[in-house]
Amino acid sequence: MRILYIDIDSLRPDHLGCYGYHRNTSPVIDQLAKEGVRFTEVYASDAPCLPSRTALFSGRFGIHNGVVGHGGTAAEPFVQGAGRGFRSRLGEKGWLATLRQAGLLTATVSTFAERHCAWHWYAGFNEVYNHGTCGDEVAHEVLPYALRWIEDHASDEHWFLHVNLWDPHTPYRSPADYGNPFWEEPAPTWLTEEILEKHRAGFGPHSAREPHGFGGENTDRWPRVPREIGSLEDYKQWIDGYDTGIRYADQHVGQLLDTLEKLGILNDVMIIVSADHGESQGEMNIYGDHQLADAFTCRVPLIIKGPGVKSGVVDKELHYHLDLAPTICEWLGVDVPSDWDGQSFASTLRSGKPHGRDGLVISQGAWACQRGVRFGDWLFLRTYHTGLKDLKPVMLFNLREDPHETKDLGSDRPEVVREGMARLESWLTKAMEVSPQKTDPMWTVLREGGPFHTRNMLESYGRWLRETGRGEHAAFLEKNPSGLHERQRKSILRGS
């Protein structure tokens, strides 16, 4: 079996044509969706980049593998200690190690591991191609490595190739001579003047007044994005940059497929298109980043086409992204390690009949400390540290009626809040029962000072807020840096 996994960083599904987007961002990916199975409700269990890919490639939630953040203790897998064998758990039971033991030649074309110093992520790969640009590359710099590998191994019958494209990741860097395919097309209309005015009066890293971080960044080298979101015209420029990155990546996906066709193996390859996480584009006053455990950070596209895969199927059931690992193993007839958290949906690929989960718990530990519960039409959010953002400890959204998370219903629907909290507590209890360390790494992040990307940023950000006429927000954060009341904060630090 030949498998090509195209991993497009920060790609949110609702900006693809096959998921209903009004712009033609993804003609190549859209065609793949027509020919295979498209999954509409797949969520990264742990966000953003490092936790997400560690979860998928280890087969385990962050609460079980130890990686929930981008720095500090929780950016490394749990230490196995005295029980570690000659090989580590990832080296024996990770997704790629499992495929390799089953006889597949495994390779990756990606700079991800170096970008995050995630050397554990290489476990199980026979071959690694890191062109050394740490995620700052664009698709035309990645493709030569991937195309050469495919050409060299076209006659091999059993391989897994992971190709990582970064073009939709902020700041948007598609080549200037590519132009703007969307300059005449309107941006999404959910963001109104009224909402933008509230965002500009608000605060938080990557909010409307500081979409590149914490304010005052030099953005001259990124001409596709405005310095701040001061108007709906600025918002359109921002969205144009993101969508152009998607279109540029999609064009290069086409080159991969053209090469497979030229070599006569296109119909013999299972092709998977997905992402590590999504990207907020103004939702919750976060522009061009991935900071929450919400639908826009954690929901990812998943499209699978290949020999034996049903054509034209749309699966609307709930799945974790890490469910992909046991699915591919089952498809290949490979035993799934007993301690994986994933649940195979291989039967859907064969029969076209969806079968998913009753609910999901999704986590964020790098930009905030937050867990979300996805069930029915609902997204319930429990925040343990806001990461200097304007968030309530408990929030609730109806994603069917309010797909852009503009109206918090936490006060209006207490019975749904109670269900969300009960689901979260049940999940935590079950997760800790089988935890190798009996420790929730989210609490480790809190004990070490909070989310890595906002740790030690309060003083400089408070100064920026005062300079831009938002001193009341600076005063609030200085009094309450975690965004929680003191009693809540102490309870969390005790692990209760």
* Secondary structure element (H or E) that encloses residue 304, with its range: strand 299-305
How high is the pLDDT of residue 11? Answer: 98
Same domain, 60 and 116: yes
Same domain, 213 and 350: yes
Q: Which amino acid is at 320?
A: Y
Virtual torsion, Cα 194, 196, 201, 205, nearest 10 deg = 150
- Domain termination residue (choose one: 356, 383, 403): 356
Q: 398-437: per-residue pLDDT in tens? A: 999 999 999 999 999 999 999 999 999 999 999 999 999 9
Yes or no: say if 307 and 268 are a contact pair by the CB < 8 Å rule.
Answer: yes
- List the structure tokens of 207: 């909010």
What span, in angstroms and rounded, lies between the C-alpha atoms of 188 and 195? 13
Q: 363-392: per-residue pLDDT in tens? A: 999 999 999 999 999 999 999 999 999 999
Average pLDDT of span 18-36? 98
Same domain, 228 and 80: yes
Same domain, 306 and 370: no
Q: 334-343: per-residue pLDDT in tens? A: 999 999 999 9
Same domain, 244 and 293: yes
Average pLDDT of span 40-47? 98
Yes or no: say if 48 and 415 are a contact pair by the CB < 8 Å rule.
Answer: no
pLDDT for 496 beyond 50: no
Q: Which amino acid is at 213?
A: G
The percent of residues above 70 in pLDDT, for the chain, comes to: 97
Same domain, 287 and 218: yes
- List the structure tokens of 269: 């390859």
CATH number for the domain spanning 88: value is 3.40.720.10
Q: Are strands 37-43 and 313-320 parallel, antiparallel or unpaired?
A: parallel
Those residues whose C-beta lies under 8 Å from the C-beta of residue 9, and which sit 6 or more positions away, are 49, 135, 164, 165, 166, 168, 169, 275, 276
Same domain, 369 and 256: no
What span, in angstroms and rounded, lies between the C-alpha atoms of 288 and 439? 32
Give the chain's mean pLDDT: 96
CATH number for the domain spanning 482: value is 3.30.1120.10
Give me the residue label for tokens 């013999």: 268
- Domain termination residue (choose one: 310, 332, 356): 356
- Domain termination residue (choose one: 356, 391, 412): 356
- List the structure tokens of 123: 């476990």
Q: 434-487: per-residue pLDDT in tens? A: 999 999 999 999 999 999 999 999 999 999 999 999 999 999 999 998 886 555
Same domain, 164 and 145: yes
How high is the pLDDT of residue 65? Answer: 98
**Edge-to-edge strands, sheet with 105-109:** 127-129, 105-109, 159-165, 2-8, 269-274, 299-305, 37-43, 313-320
Neighbours of 462 (CB within 10 A): 22
Higher per-residue confidence, 366 vs 488:
366
Same domain, 195 and 118: yes
Same domain, 395 and 478: yes
Same domain, 349 and 413: no
pLDDT for 359 beyond 50: yes
Q: What is the 3-state secondary structure of 180-207?
A: CCCCCCCCCCCCCHHHHHHHHHCCCCCC
Total count of domains within the chain: 2
How high is the pLDDT of residue 24? Answer: 98
pLDDT for 223 beyond 70: yes
Q: Which amino acid is at 13?
A: P
352: left (phi over 0), alpha (psi -120 to 50) or beta: left
Q: What angle do CA 76, 80, 81 make, to 5 degrees?
A: 120
Q: Determine the structural domain holding residue 434 and report its residue range.
A: 362-493
How high is the pLDDT of residue 483? Answer: 80
Virtual torsion, Cα 276, 281, 284, 290, nearest 10 deg = 20
Same domain, 138 and 30: yes
